[in-house]
Chain A
């Protein structure tokens, strides 16, 4: 019998060199932390860009100290030019959506905790996993180079509508090299995400430990699985779109550029392309992308709340089915970004109905969360505060969807600050709160130390109030017709709104400064935080059975055996504890407390 080696991919000895331990590591935990650090760098960059944008919007003629040094072309005398505003805006959005909202809740926490929560020693393809991080980092670095080319980054927004994004440098500053760099960076990012999705899906399907049936997986594992399925199909469409866009730039093709276009009295030498094709391709990716940004956060919030309410959700099935429904419907609604785009108006109505239907799973999730709070034993700590804040923010951001889902109302609200308020509430705040909640919750496990609770609570309060002060007024601005992506407000009907913009700017700068408290807490607690036990929050899932921080091979070479789902909270046990961990053979006595 000629045997072939059957050593599973995951078995390898502990890394010994610094490079293998911390740089080119195949350990999913290290990769998760590397992603988290990338997201931190990205969020600080994106936030600084937003401060510059907000200052300019409140005070369009103000000279911003230091800006001239950074960009003499973009801000002569420190006063931002309109094109520079748009360039900063494009980079702000691109960095935030891809390198923060897709990276932190999904790639960072998912890489760290998915294998652990499934009871695996590592992901099935650790080398692909390592590659996925380095490819993502490469994408980030490539994107950043756009700041340093002569004409600067593109100004077409993160949505990069053609033909503005496809024609080339005639269309505007940054639209030549900058736009090509942008599209290249995104295409590279897609590769990284596909490698990651491969690992995540395979982990859930094939790497679960003994006893870990699919239904016993914690909700966060499901959330990451659902998100990977979305990522797989969505990023696989963004990459072709970017390839075609790059070809229009460098190869003279005309996928997106129509005939007879004239800029500066010059006929553009392309013809026959379809303007709307870009929008269809982009939004087919773009809408699932925003659910990719929020579903892991929903998983984290559910997970954090169960642990801190000391009871399972009223129906975990409802939450899981709703997450699947969101993922499924997300592909059917993308045309709501295109209601007045020139698309067939019948199509607009067709897209509007699944968009309205998507309110149902979103509402189910929110109501299950709220309903589960009833009769619970809610513990208030920073992680649970951010989780509760998420619910409030998700409600606020979600209700504006009722308006935007209807084409007739979209006539008034399309491309206004109402839209900007909607997506910032759900993505810029709710999803961020999910990331914060996960951070405060899992930091003890990742670093073996507790974050400072007092600082955490201060961070929460100031951020909660601050973000409401920033983004709630966006809706009022949009309701009054304030068009978005304007570098300044020179229209008669917009000038009276400038004071509200100034209020928002001050709130934004203040709330941004508050994040320094988080950064300080995050960094200093690693060295000075109180030592963390294995299970400081009395959780049930498998991450809490290992020491804090976990050893290189997670479960010490011995895979756990699972007897329960992750919802055994509020149960009566012989030991007197109100919870049973997943790997404990102990059974509950006469069901859940109070049932």
Chain B
């Protein structure tokens, strides 16, 4: 696997190193994990908090008044869910191909790239399917302000889709770097965790919308 080159920039084992003070010099890990490994979890934590806030807003709003009007979720949402889950699958295949390429077991990155393109494509289809879900709601006369259910539906799906688009940008960046041969493992990992998180988040939102909206 690609080892980090020693550039004189050392670390100390990351957050797991909780050694207490003795005043003596301690020998510790020469290389720290790349910062993006903790950074992506920080970002995911923040996004979770935001959607938690929206969830609590939904729950409180539902209980505040008797104007809650259940809507049937557009059936295309089942399709978009499958698309997004599938894209996580294709991303994992892509990752393994990249690993094989980096270990020298493959001469070209082309097959890894194909699977990355699949992921990107499925992601784009997901966003497209979400848009079609909106069109369907609109055809039923359900707009953003029609009732609180529709409001939350649009807010949740729009914000999630926006974050997915951020993930698409990340995937594009990975593709470009891979084709130029400058892809770092940390970049790939961070983008992957984010993308899988988009899927997990969507499953959560889907269940929430199905149960409450």
B14 x A237 contact (CB < 8 A): no
With A8-B7, A255-B151, A259-B65 in contact, is A205–B38 under 8 Å at CB? yes
B32 x A201 contact (CB < 8 A): no
A3 x B2 contact (CB < 8 A): yes
Number of interface residues of A (CB under 8 A): 71
The docked-state distance in angstroms from the alpha carbon of A244 to that of B60 is: 13
Question: B179 near A: Cβ within 8 Å?
Answer: no
A210 x B45 contact (CB < 8 A): no
The contact string, 1 if C-beta is below 8 Å from chain B, for chain A 195-225, is 0011101110111111111111000000000
Question: A52 near B: Cβ within 8 Å?
Answer: no
Query: For residue B64, which residues in chain A have a CB less than 8 angstroms away from its CB?
Result: 258, 272-274, 277
Chain B's closest residue to A200 (CB) is B42
B20 x A215 contact (CB < 8 A): yes
B49 x A5 contact (CB < 8 A): no
With A241-B53, A255-B57 in contact, is A213–B184 under 8 Å at CB? no
Contacting residue for B11 out of A197, A206, A259, A273, CB 8 A: A206
Q: Which of A432-440, A511-519, A520-528, A557-565 makes up part of the contact surface? A: A557-565
A319 to chain B, nearest CB (A): 15
The docked-state distance in angstroms from the alpha carbon of A211 to that of B19 is: 10
The contact string, 1 if C-beta is below 8 Å from chain B, for chain A 550-594, is 000000011101011100100000000000000001011000000
The docked-state distance in angstroms from the alpha carbon of A251 to that of B146 is: 10
A347 to chain B, nearest CB (A): 13
The docked-state distance in angstroms from the alpha carbon of A291 to that of B151 is: 33
Question: B212 near A: Cβ within 8 Å?
Answer: no
Query: For residue A271, which residues in chain B have a CB less than 8 angstroms away from its CB?
Result: 65, 67
A200 to chain B, nearest CB (A): 9
A277 x B23 contact (CB < 8 A): no
B50 x A237 contact (CB < 8 A): yes
Chain B's closest residue to A237 (CB) is B53
Contacting residue for A2 out of B26, B38, B148, B181, CB 8 A: B181
Question: B135 near A: Cβ within 8 Å?
Answer: no
Contacting residue for B43 out of A198, A203, A233, A259, CB 8 A: A198
B21 x A561 contact (CB < 8 A): no
Question: A125 near B: Cβ within 8 Å?
Answer: yes
Number of interface residues of B (CB under 8 A): 65
Question: B89 near A: Cβ within 8 Å?
Answer: no
Question: A267 near B: Cβ within 8 Å?
Answer: no
B49 x A237 contact (CB < 8 A): yes
B12 to chain A, nearest CB (A): 5
Chain A's closest residue to B158 (CB) is A243
Query: For residue B56, which residues in chain A have a CB less than 8 angstroms away from its CB?
Result: 280-281
A563 x B102 contact (CB < 8 A): no
Question: A421 near B: Cβ within 8 Å?
Answer: no
Query: For residue A557, which residues in chain B have a CB less than 8 angstroms away from its CB?
Result: 8
B39 x A125 contact (CB < 8 A): yes
Question: B75 near A: Cβ within 8 Å?
Answer: no
Chain B, range 55-96, C-beta contacts under 8 Å to A:
56-57, 60-61, 63-67
With A254-B148, A274-B60 in contact, is A7–B7 under 8 Å at CB? yes
The contact string, 1 if C-beta is below 8 Å from chain B, for chain A 303-341, is 000000000000000000000000000000000000000
B11 x A4 contact (CB < 8 A): no
A284 x B53 contact (CB < 8 A): yes
B23 x A563 contact (CB < 8 A): yes
Question: A415 near B: Cβ within 8 Å?
Answer: no
The docked-state distance in angstroms from the alpha carbon of A211 to that of B102 is: 32
B102 to chain A, nearest CB (A): 5
With A208-B11, A240-B50 in contact, is A4–B35 under 8 Å at CB? no
Known: A2-B101, A235-B46, A277-B64. 8 other contacts (CB 8 A): A1-B104, A6-B7, A194-B43, A233-B49, A251-B144, A259-B65, A272-B67, A559-B10
In the complex, the 6 A-B pairs of residues with the closest C-beta atoms, listed nearest first:
A124-B35, A272-B65, A274-B64, A252-B145, A236-B49, A272-B67
Binding site for A on B (CB under 8 A): 2-5, 7-12, 14-15, 17-21, 23-26, 28, 32-39, 42-43, 45-47, 49-50, 52-54, 56-57, 60-61, 63-67, 101-104, 109, 144-145, 148, 151, 155, 159, 181-185
